[in-house]
Amino acid sequence: MSRTRRQSAATASNAGGLARYVRLENRLVLLARLNSLLGYKSPKVWPRALMLRGGASFIIT
Amino acid sequence: MAEGFDAERRSFLYHHLKGRGGIVKLQAEDLERYDANIYSHLAAMNRGRTEPITLRYFQYLAALYAEIFLDRYFNHRAQMLADLKSFVRERNAAKIPGEPLDEEFIESDLNKLACWMATGSGKTLLLHLNYYQFMHYARMQSDNILLTTPNEGLSEQHLRELVASGIPGRRFDLHSDGLFSGGRNVVQVIEITKLVEEKRGGGVSVPVEAFEGNNLIFVDEGHKGSGGETWRRYREALGETGFTFEYSATFGQALSAARNDPLTAEYGKAIYFDYSYRYFYGDGFGKDFRILNLQEESRREQTEMLLLGNLLSFYEQLRIYQERADELRPYNLEKPLWIFVGSTVNAVYSENRVKRSDVLTVARFLHHVLKNKDEWVIQGIQKLLEGKSGLTTQDGSDIFAGRFATLRDTGLSASELYADILVRIFHAQAGGSLHLCDIRSSAGELGLKASGADDYFGLIYIGDTAEFKKLVENDRAGIVLEEDVLSGSLFEELNRRDSKTNILIGAKKFMEGWNSWRVSTMGLLNIGRKEGSQIIQLFGRGVRLRGKHNSLKRSTALEESPPPWIKLLETLNIFAVRANYMAQFRDYLEREGVETEEPVELQLSIWTNEQFLKRGLVVPRLEEGHEFKHESILLLEVDPAVRVAVDLSVKAQTIESGAAGLQAAELRGGTVRPIPPDKLTLVDWEQVYLDLLAYKERKGLQNLVIRPEVLPDIIKKGNYTLVADEAVTGPRSFAERSLLQEAVTRILRKYIDGFYRQRREKWEKQHLVYKTLDKNDLNLAFNRELVREGSEGTYILKIRKSEAELIKAIVKLRADLDRLCKQETAELPRLYFDRHLYLPLLLEKSDKLSAVPPGLADSEAKFVKDLKEYWEKEKDKSLQGKELFLLRNLSRGKGVGFFEESGFYPDFILWVIDRQSQRLVFIEPHGMLHAKAYIYDEKARLHERLPGLAKAIAQRSKNLKKEITLDSFIISATPYNDLYQYYDDGTWDMKKFAEKHILFPQRCGEYDYIRIILSAS
């Protein structure tokens, strides 16, 4: 497999998984109601930067 | 955010939520009641435990959400349904075209709650809390309580944990009469797979009729594997009369979020809490992970190079662990263990009619390392250290580039490192052959030893040792086979501190259900798609971390600058060879919200204003080498100067746990009344003493000595105020006696707090000195230990690798000091205020990067902006002749702090100096959330204590050129209109708050909080 093809496959997967997660969070309606009772927005505004605090990495050659 | 409950048994989160004021839409008394319920349920769960559970903030919130739901479900169901319907309508109306709409709630939707919680975040604990909560609210007892699990191992574990939480549990027996079996309120545990087998086998059918009636069902990982569909059918069969709680770490996998997916709509209405792996990891729990996968087409040399990189990574961890043993002790890290997991149940399997063994692949590799033919290992280590392994990532960089920094820092050559690897990992003085020893006393275990070594360095743990030995015998590698009739099981000793086993190789079957904190490096071989879910389980266990103070957190989440090498031991390295599942695994992590892209680290040095440092600014710091806890032993004694107030009047209910179980008693109203001395005989003083010892332990007051005989004296002679009902001080029944016990315990807990604080303050007065601020002050020298050159404090920025433009922009900005310090541009949000001692002053605004130390939060930034504006306007007017300097005060370990027990580190230090004097003002723009009464609000009252402290410090400090005064202010994040209602007696106006140095961030008309700070003296 050429490097270009592999790269684009990995990028697609990257977008897919996270995008699905974000869409799913938007569907949690009961949680949204409970959050709103305590004055929180839902899904919680959660800076992506939070994930950067760790050093997780995933490398596929 | 502090976790747990205060001396008055109110959770800190309760105070926090209360402090949010009007935006919380719950009635205050409801919030109070929910908090009390959670406390009592937790008390019930802790009754039989030697180590009590403290709820993490997210566990508390999950319990609180369940409280809100269940209260409404049982007491106001129609109202709740109407409310949810209206909420859905409003949400749908606000959605953009094309966005999936939420389905309307119907009554049967309310019969189910689902909780999305990451592995290791305490799903089981939540299940137990939910049990107690349900029992509390359900007016009728449930006919059946069932807990379904994915497998037998988990069933056994659940049964043990139910017992630990005081919940009756038993195995479910299909053949016994299901109805009432085992008694009421007993949780019956069954594997979901068993239900499947029974159905498919056509034998004994699932006795659904046994579950007719009012049932309570707990489902652990119900949608996993083949059980998912079965469970759905089964649950439907249970009808609408039951109530279900479902728990899963991986709802992200099960739900597609597609527009018309009924399952997603169903769970969207049932999931009441989301603490998926993203949040768990983002909050600092569990290890970091680094995953390297070599694709299928890899050549043998590449595989061996990856394995050698794996070996070197493991050696680096082991070396750090051994060399830094003393410094590592507080972090609760275990001795590193390198595990290999093969794909098949058996060590030997056939592929294309050829017998293969992943285990043999690893054994051969270890043999090759020991033999070191033609010094290939030494050459390989050299390449790895240089980042020239030949294994590259998609962008062409070497996968080991920049790694092994601690090994390079040793200055040892590759051959010296190899010699050390032999000693530390293989327990061998020199190379040789690999010896495989069949441990006769322990079936399935083959010990691994180097030629001439006394100790085993590794273990192969498989089922079919005979067949594997045959394969080794026929192999030409030269591995030596032996028998050992003397040694015992190595596997059983793996978790012992003195275990010498460094490497564990096994087929995955033997890893299932096995737990160890030791796993630090993981090698995966030939893992295919179908093994994926098991590898995820392995991953979940591998990233568990005990952490400092058993916090389960990484040190970077606990401290601003932990020793940098700790990160190596708090990272799970996963090396995969031909593991085709890894792409799916990555997708799995992303579906749980985890970013899998490696961040780039950039260092950003600060510019310190050295002219300012020449102005003789001082900070109070402890004399070096002194620590209160180590230098002062305190004996708890009666001290009338310690004042305590306990208010039992507002609590609706209290609970006593005793031999007879939980007893609840109502409390209503109350007046100030002392406890009559003759009633003190009704107190169980031994229990009080034990409670206080546990409290002391929890608060880390190790230098406090409590003698049991002093406790009644403190109550008799101490200076306390108790507001309570007559039943508390003059109990007439067993239940009321528990109220007295509660009151006495609370008074003494608060007394301990006050006593300890007073003694510490006295000690500090004797040991604090003024130090002239210089570049070595920890508030200015942050992260300096990470920077090889220069002596400036340095921000560490982490940016996602794919943000190439941003990285470029920041690198460019870094080179332009003037722009970096004096401008406020978007690529790196920051504030320019030239009176701050260093620049830039970063803001916590961007979601594309993170900084250590973190940027200023909104409330902090507002203060700096307001101060800047005021200074620029007034410097030649009301502030003429004065100079002003500001410094961000970092937290524990770096900044200037007060009240070590509660850790109060005001966010800013402000100096206002003129010719004669230097005024230091500590400013905390955060919360007024926990305190109810000023007199007991130690943070707000800091300003009262500071003048005395300043005088004492000045007497001990030499060469002071100016008079130095100390002051402090709290800037309340809670608006005045909310705060005044619950603070103190509820009558304070803004002027009164200002007199007490509590300000609101307002600048209009007469009220300008900056002016108040600067004009006070």
Q: Which residues of A touch B264 (CB under 8 A)?
A: 24, 27
CB interface of B with A, residues 83-122, below 8 Å: 83-84, 87-88, 91, 99-100, 102
The shortest CB-CB distance from B282 to any of A36, A50, A59 is to: A50
Residue B283 pLDDT > 60:
yes
Per-residue pLDDT reduced to its tens digit, B617-665: 999 888 877 778 888 889 999 998 888 888 776 443 333 333 333 333 3
Q: List the alpha helices (DSSP H) in B917-959.
A: 942-956
CB B281 to CB A51 under 8 A?
Answer: yes
Residue A44 has pLDDT above 70, yes or no: no
When scoring B1, B251, B596 by the number of chain A Cβ atoms within 10 A, the one with the most, hence best to mutate, is B596
User: Does B54 reach chain A within 8 Å, measured CB to CB?
Assistant: no
Percent of residues, chain B, with pLDDT higher than 90:
34
The confidence score (pLDDT) of residue B664 equals: 37
**Chain A residues touching residue B83 (CB < 8 angstroms):** 33
The model's confidence at residue B495, banded by pLDDT at 50, 70 and 90, is confident
Cα–Cα nearest to A49, from B208, B423, B384, B842: B842
Average pLDDT over residues B895-904: 68
Highest mean pLDDT among B210-214, B424-428, B516-520, B575-579: B424-428
CA dihedral angle for residue B331, residue B120, residue B534, residue B305, rounded to 10 degrees: -20
Q: Residue B36 is which amino acid?
A: A
pLDDT of residue B38: 96
For residue B21, give every residue at least 6 positions away whose Cβ sits within 8 Å of its Cβ, in sequence order, or none: B974, B975, B977, B978, B979
Å between B844 CA and nearest CA of chain A: 9
* β-pair partners for B505: B340, B460
What part of B 248-277 touches A (C-beta under 8 Å)?
Answer: 251-252, 255-257, 264-265, 268-274
CA B389/CA B302 separation, integer angstroms: 9
CA dihedral over B811, B816, B818, B822, signed as positive or negative: negative
Q: Is B593 on the interface with A (CB under 8 A)?
A: yes
Tokens linked to B364? 């051969």
Of A24, A31, A32, the CB nearest to B252: A24
Q: Which of A16, A56, A7, A61 is nearest to B588 (CA)?
A: A16
| Residue B735 pLDDT exceeds 80 | no
Q: Is B281–A56 a contact, with Cβ atoms under 8 angstroms apart?
A: yes
Min Cα distance A41 → chain B (Å) is: 11
Of B480, B511, B489, B493, the C-alpha closest to B340 is B511
B850 and A37: CB-CB below 8 Å? no
Distance from CA of A22 to the nearest CA of B (A): 7
Q: Provide ipTM, 2 decimals.
A: 0.74
**pLDDT of B930:** 55
Q: Extract the tokens encoding B352.
A: 């294309």
**A43 falls in which pLDDT band (50, 70, 90)?**
low
Superfamily of domain B27-276: P-loop containing nucleotide triphosphate hydrolases (3.40.50.300)
> Which residue type sits at B426?
F
Output the six-digit token pair for A10.
């990995």
Report chain B residues whose CB lies below 8 A from the CB of A7: 394
Pick the more confident residue, B323 or A52.
B323
Of the candidates A10, A17, A61, the beta carbon closest to that of B391 is on A61
Q: Out of B17-26, B789-798, B970-979, B1007-1016, give the one with best mean pLDDT.
A: B1007-1016
Angle (deg, nearest 10), helices B123-137 and B57-75: 30
**pLDDT of the residue at B854:** 86
Task: Pull the structure tokens for residue B217.
Answer: 């069902």
Q: Which of A31, A25, A4 shows the shortest CA–CA distance to B61?
A: A31
CA atoms of B952 and A25, how far apart (whole Å): 56
Give the per-residue pLDDT at B113. Answer: 95
Lowest mean pLDDT among B537-546, B887-896, B946-955: B537-546
Containing B968, the helix (H) or strand (E) segment is strand B963-971
Q: Nearest CA to CA, how far is B553 from chain A (Å)?
A: 11
Mutation target for B interface from A5, A8, A28: give the one with most B CBs within 10 A. A28
Q: Closest to B290 (Cβ–Cβ): which among A20, A37, A57? A: A57
Query: Could you tell me if B640 and B629 are in contact, meaning their C-beta atoms sit under 8 angstroms apart?
Result: no
pLDDT band at B548 (very low <50, low <70, confident <90, very high): confident
Quick check: B207 pLDDT over 70?
no
**Residue B590 with chain A: CB contacts under 8 Å:** 13-14, 16-18, 20-21
The average pLDDT across B800-813 equals 87
The pLDDT of residue A7: 35
| pLDDT band at residue B872 using 50, 70 and 90 as cut-offs | very high
Of residues B722 and B514, the one with the higher pLDDT is B722
Positive or negative torsion for Cα B528, B534, B537, B539: negative
Rounded to a whole number of angstroms, the distance from the CA of B84 to the nearest CA of chain A is: 7
Q: pLDDT grade, residue B329 (50/70/90)?
A: confident
CB contacts, 8 Å: A27 with chain B: 100, 102, 255, 257, 264-265, 268
Higher per-residue confidence, B679 vs B234: B679
How would residue B557 be classed by pLDDT, with cut points 50, 70 and 90? confident
Average pLDDT for B881-898: 86
Name the DSSP letter for residue B10: -
Assess whether pLDDT exceeds 60 at residue A11.
no
Instruction: State the pLDDT confidence band at B153, using cuts at 50, 70 and 90.
Output: confident
- Kindly indicate the confidence band of residue B43, based on its pLDDT and cuts at 50, 70 and 90: very high
Q: Cα(B996)–Cα(B970) distance, rounded to whole angstroms?
A: 9
> B 515-554 residues with CB below 8 A of A?
554
pLDDT of residue A61: 41
Could you list the beta-strand ranges (E) of B135-210.
144-149, 169-171, 187-191
Stretch (H or E) spanning A50: helix A49-52
Asked if residue B605 lies in contact with residue B741, where contact means CB atoms within 8 angstroms, the answer is: no
Q: Minimum mean pLDDT among A4-8, B69-73, B930-934: which range?
A: A4-8
- Average pLDDT of span B538-546: 80
Q: Which two tokens stand for residue B376?
A: 């290939």
CB count, 10 Å around CB of B101?
A: 13
Of A30, A36, A59, the CB nearest to B269: A30
Please state, in angstroms and as integers, the Cα–Cα distance from residue B11 to each residue in B15, B55, B688, following that order.
7, 10, 20
Q: How many beta carbons lie within 10 A of that of residue B183, not counting itself?
A: 8
Q: What is the mean pLDDT of residues B18-37?
A: 87
Residue B840: asked if its preceding bond is cis (omega within 30°), the reply is yes
What percent of chain B is predicted at pLDDT more than 70? 84
Q: Is B25 an 8 Å CB contact of chain A? A: yes
Pairing of strands B503-507, B458-461: parallel
What does the pLDDT average to over A15-25? 71
Higher pLDDT, B276 or B901: B276
Average pLDDT, chain B: 83
By C-alpha distance, the chain B residue nearest A43 is B274
Other CB atoms closer than 10 Å to residue B371's CB: what's the count? 17
